[in-house]
Amino acid sequence: MTQLKDKDPLGKVIVITSGKGGVGKTTSAAAIAAALAKRGHKTVVIDFDVGLRNLDMIMGCERRVVFDFINVIQGEARLKQALIKDKRLDTLSILPTSQTRDKDALTQDGVEKVLNELKEQFDYIICDSPAGIERGAQLAMYFADEAVVVTNPEVSSVRDSDRVLGLLASKTKRAEDEGTEVKAQVLLTRHDQRRVDAGEMMTIDDVLEILAVPLLGVVPESPAVLRASNVGMPIVLDEPSEASRAYEAAVARLLGEEVDMSMSKEKKPGFFSRLFGAPA
């Protein structure tokens, strides 16, 4: 419906962040970027985890990295040279980070310049944040228009997400200059319905009640995630799975479409809404 209509002049910057490590940020950044690109949106995904480059492996382009984000920031290469075009989707590009330098190589001015240049060429700029709340994570969120806070239904992850939501509301350009907010939504990942049913895992509602931000989606714990990472496929480009459908649905919501959340609700949905509830 909104496909050709609102042609935004500048791309939208979306940070994928969490505070806690290992909750699924990189998996989600790759999946969200690929799902947007699949829908025809020109999308770039940037690795902000300087020194611990991993997005390239998840995207399957690790053998093609020549120049990186840091080379561009330091004026050693042009942006065009550092961008890797995905071989599967021509609407998708990857900007890898440096494996050999550290977070101090990121400067606020440098990041801003690169993002501004990317905004001219892409509809969506997906920033894969490092864990923590230090420099790297702060710079990944600083210029964001929107945020996806990846959370696992587990105490330390939820606590860290709360902390990150606080930073999004205060330590971003939007918060500082414009007094506008970065729109933040929670993406609950590694959700295990059986453990919820057994009372071992917090429910979606429990988590939302605590964090008090909208829910973008629920991604189940799924063996498909490991499989896809083995072969370097963003999950939505690999064989269809519950996890890939969950990411497709989350991206549909990110684009403002109304997608039934039934798949992810605790109350058992009917078989059909379970199977077909989330349009691809």
Ligand X SMILES: Nc1ncnc2c1ncn2[C@@H]1O[C@H](COP(=O)(O)OP(=O)(O)OP(=O)(O)O)[C@@H](O)[C@H]1O
CB of 100 to other proteins, least distance (A): 4
* Contacts (CB under 5 A) with Mg ion, residues 5-64: 25-26
189 binds, among other proteins, Mg ion, ligand X, none (CB under 5 to 8 A by kind): ligand X
Distance of alpha carbon 143 from alpha carbon 134, whole angstroms: 15
Write down the residue that tokens 């942006």 correspond to.
79
Q: Contact region for ligand X (CB under 6 A) — 21-29, 91-99, 140-148, 267-275? A: 21-29
225 binds, among ligand X, other proteins, Mg ion, none (CB under 5 to 8 A by kind): ligand X
Q: Give the CB-nearest residue to Mg ion.
A: 26
CB of 203 to ligand X, least distance (A): 17
- Does position 247 bind other proteins by CB under 8 A? no
Closer to other proteins by Cβ: residue 99 or 273: 99
Closer to other proteins by Cβ: residue 64 or 88: 64
**Interface with other proteins (CB under 8 A), residue from 3, 40, 81, 279:** 81
- Does position 22 bind ligand X by CB under 6 A? yes
- Does position 25 bind ligand X by CB under 6 A? yes
Write down the residue that tokens 């699949």 correspond to.
38
Whether 69 contacts 113, CB under 8 Å:
no
- Does position 56 bind ligand X by CB under 6 A? no
* Contacts (CB under 6 A) with ligand X, residues 68-127: none
- Does position 3 bind other proteins by CB under 8 A? no
Closer to other proteins by Cβ: residue 64 or 195: 64
Distance of alpha carbon 242 from alpha carbon 261, whole angstroms: 14
Whether 149 contacts 184, CB under 8 Å:
yes
227 binds, among ligand X, other proteins, Mg ion, none (CB under 5 to 8 A by kind): other proteins
Distance of alpha carbon 4 from alpha carbon 2, whole angstroms: 6
> Of 215, 233, 216, whose CA–CA distance to 224 is shortest?
233
**Interface with other proteins (CB under 8 A), residue from 65, 89, 175, 255:** 65
17 binds, among other proteins, ligand X, Mg ion, none (CB under 5 to 8 A by kind): none
- Does position 221 bind ligand X by CB under 6 A? yes
Residues that bind Mg ion (CB under 5 A): 25-26
Residues that bind ligand X (CB under 6 A): 18, 21-27, 49, 130-131, 189-190, 219, 221-222, 225-226, 229, 243
Residues that bind other proteins (CB under 8 A): 57, 62-67, 71, 76-78, 80-81, 98-100, 227, 229-232
